[in-house]
Structure 1
Amino acid sequence: MMQTAKHSLLVAALLAGAMSAQAAVTAEEAAKLKTSLTPMGAEKAGNKEGTIPPWEGGLAKATPGYKNGDARPDLYPNEKPILSINAKNMAQHADKLTDGVQALMKKYPDFRIDVYPTHRTAAAPQSVYDNTFKNATRAKTIEGGYGMEGAFGGTPFPIPKDGYEAMWNQRTAWRGGNFAMPMRVWVVTSDGKRTMASGGTQTIRQAFYDKDGSAEKFDGYYQYGKLVVNAPGSKAGEAILALDGVSDAAPRGLWQYLVGQRRVRKAPSVAYDTPDSVTSGIGLFDEAFTLFGPIDKHELKLVGKKEIYIPYNNNRAASARIEDLVTPNTLNPAQVRWELHRVWEVEATLAAGKRHVVPKRKYYIDEDSWQIALFDGWDAKGQLWRTNYALMLTAPDIPAVSNVVLWGGYDMQTGAYYLNMASNELPKQYEVQPPIPRSFFSAESLSSEGAR
């Protein structure tokens, strides 16, 4: 009898703990989104040193003369770096540098980061703010944190309680709704040789933000993505289609068209630690867009918030000539803008019974946009192996800040690196699209677009 009672108490405690972990924030907590926090959940105030300014609405008005699809102009062309950090002085700034950035400085004496004044440019439409406020008290994680429910049209967890909530914010972060862009992928080998690994068009529909949608209508698929490759000739015609959902009720869909096979096939291997063919295998598929696909092989811990230097407001880099930006060893430091921002640090550790070639990662998520700016990965021996980045683009015309333009990674062991989703020197940049029909993201459409 006593054994049964103890068992019942244990079950009750576990259930209570599970419910607590899944519970949305209270109305009192959510009210902070209209006072001390921004509508997306960041601290509205600046830091006490004045090196991070207060958020005052971000940039939400297009530059005069801007047309959809144009390259966004450098927003601060006359600003000069206030600080440059390299291997010689990095120890003085180590508390604001990630492990990966410090490793690059140690490995390449010429590598530096030029730090500019901080501008909190992140903004979103009012509808996103309104839905974020609603989500705060209705969104919940499910399936051990790897799924969620009750959210639509805004940041799901603007006041996150754990790493799972923070990563759901990144996955569903506002980036413009529907957009497309011509892109190229550049890889640089350890001997400094630069080549184009892939070129094509990337199209994304953030169904989570459909204007005619709602939490009640939402079918569980937060994003559809299609990549159609047109270069180099050996890859022309290849295509990848991905449908990503918020829970097991909306299972992930992956299809691939390979010219040699002349057919569309399901592609479950386009995930996790499979080498990414789009980057000639330098990157891994779950490193794409800084996070692509499920992350259920790792347990996620919300370490907390900190101030670090991250790439930000990199409109100038997005318009640079490739030969000026993609240089031997690293991206050209003179073309990349870094700023001091507050980020959420999330640590991913390999879960028991799971396998992954990168058993530990640290992600750094911008508090204003809820997007990953930097992340590092360690191998099974505990050696820093990979350091990845996103050169955050600011698009006041949308308005949004986006990390799905100009992202890539360094292999610290081989010395190779890559830059993905680069529209530099191409006729259009990140272009907002009208509503894209669901049929565009089907296996049938993949076949017709990929065939040549």
Structure 2
Amino acid sequence: MKLNKRLLATGVLAASLVATQAWGAVSSEEAAKLGDSLTPMGAEKAGNGGDIPAWTGGLTTPPANYKGDGIYVNPFPDETPKFTIDQSNVSEYKDKLSPGQVAMIKQYPDYKMPVYETHRTAAYPQGIMDETVENATKTELIKDGNGLDNYQDATPFPIPQNGLEVVWNHITRYRGGSVQRNIGQATPTASGAYSIVKFQDELTYRNYLTDYEPGKDPNVLFYFKQAITAPARLAGNVLLVHETIDQVKEPRRAWVYNAGQRRVRRAPQVAYDGPGTASDGMRTSDNLDMFNGAPDRYNWELLGKKEMYIPYNSYKLVDRDLSYDEIIKPGHINQDLTRYELHRVWHVRATLKEGERHIYAQRDFYFDEDSWQAAVVDHYDGRGELWRVAEAQAMQFYDKVLPWYAVETLYDLLSGRYLVLGLTNEETNPYQFGVDRQSRDYTPAALRRAGTR
């Protein structure tokens, strides 16, 4: 499937026109819609008069059987699919699917999308919502859109005026302030053979450090550390990232510790289309979290809002009674364990700027309006062919009042392979929020201390 060259040209033109306009803060009159006709995060509060209900605050109370241990139980255990989209009926629903979703159904006879009742579970802490409302009239994109001015925590642009603002909402969204997680990643062959790479990730936003000093390192958004814990041949390798906001002014700071060599070195390749950690070439660095890092290599066109079937409330995929063998199948994950719901999404098209380089010439993003998380991303190669399809199986972390991902998948339509990241079913202590970290924990010297061999 080829990208539309006419739309591509239109997108470049639109981006050039937007570049001459002021970006960011809206008027106080416009911002007054937040908490009224819009949710505090900027979504339409009302339903659609049909399958999409009104937003009433999201899911903020854990189910009675949740033990508070980071092992999330399904709050909708008795629900069954309303219908299933597969090869027999995909043409009836393609207006509410991405081209990549349609391609997956057409390519794999056993690929299906079970559609459930829609629950608008996304919610954030009150402080985050309050700061988002404040950002609406204050935060602006700096020149060329590569950074933020007058930005505090939370979502910078709850009433976005262009595609780049929507992308910044995804990049900066709240994920708990300080969190550690133990997860698995697999890159199955076309026949389904796989091995698990296990990570211990840490993510700490600058102002959640216990020794945080206002005004220190102001261009850093968060600190990220990723240690490989298995298999043995990779265990002990550690990645450290200082995620800068304006990465054109100051590129992402990244270092890796190689356990075999017992040395720390700078890692400028951990950006853009550099290879993702232990991914067997199945994802780029900026594929993690559906998209991360500097947006400067693309023009970003806001194509509007639409209704779409996206992965949502995917609690089945974190069920502790499941093994990885039950999830990982040839060609794609076990779709019987997925859950799709009808939600409103922002559609943003990224097209590679003239003179820039990236393996993806175009990326079409579909962002959930309630959470600002990317739900589906279609990736096109330099020939204009649909190449990879990413889906984020979202869920609400109800005890911490934040949306995030159960797992991320990235399907390669050409090779028949895929990557699945974020598996926790067989992991100990999958999520720990509120971990205490100081700035010294995220220094190159800390990498050496973190080495296990």
TM-score, with normalisation over the residues of structure 2? Answer: 0.92
Q: Distance in 2 between matches of 1:382 and 1:361?
A: 11
- Taking only the aligned residue pairs, the percentage that are identical comes to 38
Q: Hey, what does 2:342 align to over in structure 1? A: 340
In 2, the alpha carbon distance for the partners of 1:297 and 1:54 equals 37
- Greater share of residues in helix: 1
Q: Distance in 2 between matches of 1:102 and 1:17?
A: 31
Equivalent positions of 1:56-75 (< 5 A) are 56-64=56-64, 66-75=66-75
Equivalent-residue separation in structure 2 for 1:31 and 1:217 (angstroms): 33
Deviation at 1:220, TM superposition (A): 2.5
The equivalent residue for 1:229 is: 228
**Which amino acid counterpart does residue 29 of structure 1 have in structure 2?**
E
Whether the 8 Å CA contact 1:172–1:208 is kept in 2: the answer is no
After superposing the two structures, state which structure 1 stretch, 208-217 or 382-391, moved more.
208-217
Check whether the contact 2:171–2:293 (CA below 8 A) recurs between aligned residues.
no
Is 2:442 the partner of 1:441? Answer: yes
Taking a change above 3 Å as real, the CA distance of residues 212 and 398 of structure 1, as seen in their structure-2 partners, is farther
Contact 2:274 2:284 in 1 (8 A): yes
8 A contact 1:222–1:244 mirrored in 2: yes
Contact 2:209–2:437 under 8 Å retained in 1? no
> CA distance change for structure 1 residues 154 and 210 in 2, over 3 Å: closer, same or farther?
farther
Unaligned 5+ runs, structure 1: 1-15
1:22 matched to which residue of 2? 23
Q: Deviations over 1:30-52 (max 9, x none)?
A: 1000210001000000013x110
Distance 1:39 1:228, change over 3 A: same
Amino acid at match of 1:321: S
- String of CA shifts for 1:207-266, please: whole Å, max 9, x gaps: 366799799777121121110011111101111111112225554211111123321111
Deviation track 1:92-135 (CA, whole Å, cap 9, x = no partner) reads: 00001111111111110110000000000011111001100110
Match of 1:154 in 2: 154
Q: How many pairs align?
A: 435
Structure 1 partner of 2:410:
409
Residue type matched to 2:366 in 1?
A: Y
In the TM superposition, residue 142 of structure 1 has moved relative to its aligned partner by 1.1
- Structure 1 residues 69 and 280, CA gap change in structure 2 (3 angstroms): farther
Aligned to 2:382: 380
What is the alpha-carbon distance in structure 1 between the residues aligned to residue 24 and residue 412 of structure 2? 39
Q: What is the RMSD of the two structures over their aligned residues, measured on CA atoms?
A: 2.1
- Aligned partners of 1:151 and 1:145: how far apart in 2? 13
Aligned residue for 1:410, secondary structure, equals: strand
> Does the CA contact (< 8 Å) of 2:23 and 2:161 recur in 1?
no
Residue pairs, 1:167-206, within 5 angstroms:
167-196=167-196, 198-206=197-205
User: 1:295-334 to 2 correspondence within 5 Å?
Assistant: 295-319=295-319, 320-334=322-336
CA apart distance, 1:451: 4.3
Q: Quote the Cα distance in structure 1 between the aligned partners of 2:446 and 2:211.
A: 24
Per the TM alignment, residue 66 of structure 1 is displaced from its structure 2 partner at its CA by: 3.2
Q: Point out the more displaced range, 208-217 or 233-242.
A: 208-217
Are the aligned partners of 1:127 and 1:153 in contact in 2 as well (CA < 8 Å)? Answer: no
Deviations 1:41-95 (A, max 9, x none): 00000013x1100000001122335344431101101001001001121000000
Equivalent pair of 1:180/1:432 in contact (CA under 8 Å): yes
- Pick which of 226-235 and 250-259 moved more: 250-259
Distance 1:82 1:210 in 2: 45
Deviations 1:296-317 (A, max 9, x none): 2111111111111111111121
Residue 363 (structure 1) aligned with residue 365 (structure 2): yes
- Kept in 2, the 8 Å contact 1:341–1:366? The answer is yes
* Bigger shift: residues 430-439 or 353-362: 430-439
Instruction: Flag the 1:225–1:67 CA change in 2: closer, same or farther, 3 A.
Output: farther
What are the residue-to-residue correspondences of 1:272-291 with 2, within 5 Å?
272-291=272-291
Residue aligned with 1:171, SS:
helix
Letter in 2 for 1:417: Y
